């Protein structure tokens, strides 16, 4: 993705993000003020910090996932995912800070935070699945890729074997008398003499000719 940049939303846009829509206005204001303060004069500094954190998180995700073929809608979802991850991290830190100071006010705040955390985790899981970023999906795709690669290699090995091995049958009773591989398959002097014990017959085969009849001396025999 190179130097791809995200547009960092204002408080109004952040309010409309999926993970924040279920909050009441009071809950969202409390969350926003807790995280970013009420002083609008600091908005530019806050947005600059959020932009830097977003780019840092994006760079972290790019180490594990390929975003190169994402469409515009995918990028919007990715933006929401990263913002949700940052919110989750911030709220978890806030909950951790309040763990040893369980006043009535803090208990109510922790209950609200836990509801928000639960929703954020759900949103992160949903968006990750939509973008096929979950470990489960990636591993499944990897497993399928390995199976397909193995099948391709097995098929090529089988084709290689069939192309190189020669099958010689008794022309009379059609019994398989020999399979062999030649280091010099196109040597015109290579011949073999075989005896069929079943028919008590002798057969001399010019091996170079077998490559012209499907690697066997009886073209109509199915191997």
What would the pLDDT profile of 116-165 be if each residue is shown by its tens digit? 888 888 888 888 888 887 654 555 555 566 667 777 777 777 666 556 78
Q: What is the DSSP letter of 45?
A: H
Go through 63-79 and write b for each residue having 16 or more CB atoms within 10 A of its CB, e for each that does not. Answer: eeeeeeebeeeeeebbb
What would the pLDDT profile of 13-27 be if each residue is shown by its tens digit? 677 777 778 888 888
Mean pLDDT of the chain: 78
169 DSSP β-pair partners: 176
Q: What is the β-pairing status of strands 176-181 and 201-206?
A: unpaired
**What pLDDT score was predicted for residue 25?**
84
What six digits make up the tokens of 31?
């969350």
**What pLDDT score was predicted for residue 38?**
58
Claim: this prediction has a pTM higher than 0.95: no
206 DSSP β-pair partners: 191
């Amino acid at each position: 993705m190179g130097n791809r940049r995200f547009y960092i939303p204002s408080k109004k846009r952040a309010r409309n993000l999926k993970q924040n829509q279920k909050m009441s206005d009071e809950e969202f204001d409390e969350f926003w003020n807790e995280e970013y303060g009420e002083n609008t004069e600091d908005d530019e500094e806050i947005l600059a910090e959020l932009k830097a954190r977003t780019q840092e998180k994006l760079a972290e995700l790019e180490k594990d996932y390929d975003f190169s073929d994402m469409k515009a809608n995918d990028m919007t979802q990715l933006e929401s995912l990263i913002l949700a991850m940052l919110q989750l991290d911030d709220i978890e830190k806030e909950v951790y800070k309040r763990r040893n100071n369980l006043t009535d006010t803090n208990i109510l705040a922790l209950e609200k935070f836990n509801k928000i955390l639960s929703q954020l985790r759900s949103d992160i899981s949903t968006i990750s699945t939509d973008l096929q970023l979950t470990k489960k999906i990636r591993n499944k795709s990897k497993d399928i890729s390995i199976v397909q690669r193995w099948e391709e290699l097995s098929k090529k090995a089988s084709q290689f074997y069939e192309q190189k091995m020669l099958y010689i049958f008794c022309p009379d009773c059609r019994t398989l008398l020999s399979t062999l591989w030649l280091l010099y398959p196109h040597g015109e002097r290579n011949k073999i003499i075989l005896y069929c014990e079943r028919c008590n017959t002798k057969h001399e085969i010019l091996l170079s000719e077998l490559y012209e009849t499907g690697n066997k001396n009886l073209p109509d025999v199915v191997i």
